[in-house]
Structure formats: structure tokens, C-alpha cells
Amino acid sequence: MDTDLGTTYKLNIHIEGLPSTMDDVEFHCRFWTYRGSVTIKKEKMVRIDEDNYMAVIDSSLIGRGTIKVQTTVLVPDLDCDGGIRTEIYTEETGIRIK
């Protein structure tokens, strides 16, 4: 999907394979193009339900290009140092800002 710079996006965030729900883990998403990035923490997202959150992104903050998202999840895990396991997922959104 191609859109113009200045468009505001509402993107659903859903994380597969968690031991419980998204409500039970901390996470944040970094949205970026090659020109800039913005990080949105879980607390700043709109909760849809226990497994879906919505991030609202102003494209003027990240510039032109294809939007990618990197989600960092802090999963409780007693087998890891400090009791937390970090998982990082990166994917393209399919949205291009022109």
C-alpha cells in the first residue's frame, strides 16, 4: 500500500507463541524507514483485547520509505538470567510512504 507523508496509521500488534497473553508481557515496537524511526511502548498503545494492541504512528516522524517494525518482547522465564527472556521480531508492514 502506498500512502503520502503525513498519513497517520493505526496498526494492530499481535504476538504469536507467547506462554500467556500480551497483557502479561512487556513489549515495545520500533517503526522505521531508512530516514527515521519512532518507538512506541505498550503503555502508549490502545488495548484492543488481551492479545491485540493498536499502535498509532504519524508518518511524518519516520519519513519516506517502506515501514518496518521491530517488536521487542520481555517474556517471564525462570530459566534465563533475571527471570526475563528477550525476544525480537522484525517484519515489513507492506506500507510505503511516498
Residue 1 confidence (pLDDT): 86
Q: What is the Cα–Cα distance from 61 to 20, expressed in whole angstroms? A: 33
Amino acid occupying residue 64:
R
Domains of the chain: 2-97 (2.60.40)
| pLDDT, average across residues 51-67 | 96
98 has pLDDT over 90? yes
Q: What's the whole-model pTM score?
A: 0.92
Q: What is the Cα–Cα distance from 74 to 24, expressed in whole angstroms? A: 10
Burial bucket for residue 29 (CB in 10 Å: 0-12, 13-18, 19+)? buried
Q: Which residues are 89's β-sheet partners?
A: 71
The count of C-alpha atoms lying within 13 angstroms of the C-alpha of 5, restricted to the half-sphere facing its C-beta, is 10
